[in-house]
Amino acid sequence: MALIIDGNAISKQIRDGIKCEIEGLRHKFGRGPGLAVILVGDNPASQLYVGRKSKACSEVGIYSEVKKFPGEISESVLIDLIEELNRDKTIDGILVQLPLPEHINEHRIMEAISPQKDVDGLNPVNIGNLVLNCATLVPCTAAGIIELIQRSVKEIKGKHSVIIGRSNIVGKPTALMLLHHHSTVTICHSRTKNLNEIAKQADILVAALGRPKFITRDMVKEGVIAIDVGINRVDGKLWGDFDFEGVKEVASAITPVPGGVGPMTVAMLLKNTLLAYKSNYKIFP
């Protein structure tokens, strides 16, 4: 039977550590970290995630403000707002919740965020630093996946990681981070021809394709570490990309949905906001 990796518990440990550190720093510098979250449109999932992020901020002592805009906002108005936040001395981190409406160019928005305040790690400068393995601010879900693996099963070095999904926000940064931990990495996607064959070779299998219960027991190797990034709502219920009940019978470890990767994304956002604040005061990791 697999170890069920408890993302809620690991996230709580990290958040407690962050809270403690912020208390000390607030005393020293006279203010705590500040985060601005920009939410465009009325996507219910985005509203839920943004609500969770700002609640998590207030629990650890990070000041946060959510700036909500209708879906019709123009790209240039959004960029003006980001530039204003880039200059705001009380704001250490800026996050633009994704996805954005189609008329807004996501790349131009990510480019507008100051790399020092880019707590999502999606500005091209930070992505470049990630490629070079010298990034401070790295994409939150990818960072959360690495933490989960390290804290529960430890050794990444030498393992074959297969990532299903090539998004800028999850698949690509996760692949790079696993590579930097000396894993052998394969990325699969919708055009991959022999997906089942490749998935079955994985020691670490990260599923980020957004298809409920897609990865079944027969597609994985005995002893696999299964990391489920899928959040699929079907008839009001949440399902991951793994068929959890089947895969847990053969895996050595598996993350549940909910309660696996999701809470880690939030913990890593808090960690990045604290890192951005500390670099403002010339405290580097």
Name the token pair of 242. Answer: 């793994």
- By CB under 6 A, tell whether 120 contacts ligand GUN: yes
Specify the residue, 178 or 199, whose C-beta has the smaller distance to ligand GUN: 178
| Catalytic status, residue 235 | no
Specify the residue, 39 or 202, whose C-beta has the smaller distance to ligand GUN: 39
Among 3, 4, 79, 98, binds ligand GUN (CB under 6 A): 98
Among 97, 126, 183, 273, binds ligand GUN (CB under 6 A): 97
- By CB under 6 A, tell whether 264 contacts ligand GUN: no
Specify the residue, 56 or 169, whose C-beta has the smaller distance to ligand GUN: 169
Spatial separation of the C-alpha atoms in residues 141 and 207, rounded to whole Å: 12
Site residue total, ligand GUN (CB under 6 A): 9
- By CB under 6 A, tell whether 273 contacts ligand GUN: no
Specify the residue, 98 or 187, whose C-beta has the smaller distance to ligand GUN: 98
Question: What residues contact 212, with CB distance under 8 A and at least 6 apart?
Answer: 230, 232, 234, 239, 240, 241
Instruction: Work out the angle at residue 95's Cα, subtended by the Cα atoms of residues 58 and 10, and round it to the nearest 5 degrees.
Output: 55
* Length reported for the chain: 285
| Catalytic status, residue 47 | no
Amino acid at 110: M
Classify residue 228 by burial, with Cβ atoms within 10 Å: 0-12, 13-18, 19+.
Answer: buried
Q: Kindly name the residue from 92, 116, 117, 120 that is annotated as catalytic.
A: 120
Name the token pair of 83. Answer: 């530039």
- Closest by Cα among 166, 164, 168 to 241: 164
Q: Quick check: helix, strand or coil at residue 283?
A: coil
Residue numbers 134-153 binding ligand GUN by CB under 6 A: 140-141
Binding part of the chain for ligand GUN, among 4-12, 17-25, 91-99, 181-189 by CB under 6 A, reads: 91-99
Per-residue burial over 144-167, b if 16 or more Cβ lie within 10 Å, else e, is bbbbbbeebbeebeebbbbbbbbb
- By CB under 6 A, tell whether 118 contacts ligand GUN: no
Q: Quick check: helix, strand or coil at residue 274?
A: helix
| Catalytic status, residue 97 | yes
Residue numbers 154-183 binding ligand GUN by CB under 6 A: 169
Q: Quick check: helix, strand or coil at residue 119?
A: coil
Specify the residue, 53 or 248, whose C-beta has the smaller distance to ligand GUN: 53
Among 39, 96, 185, 254, binds ligand GUN (CB under 6 A): 96
Q: What residue ranges bind ligand GUN (CB under 6 A)?
A: 95-98, 120, 140-141, 169, 265
Supply the residues annotated as catalytic. 53, 97, 120
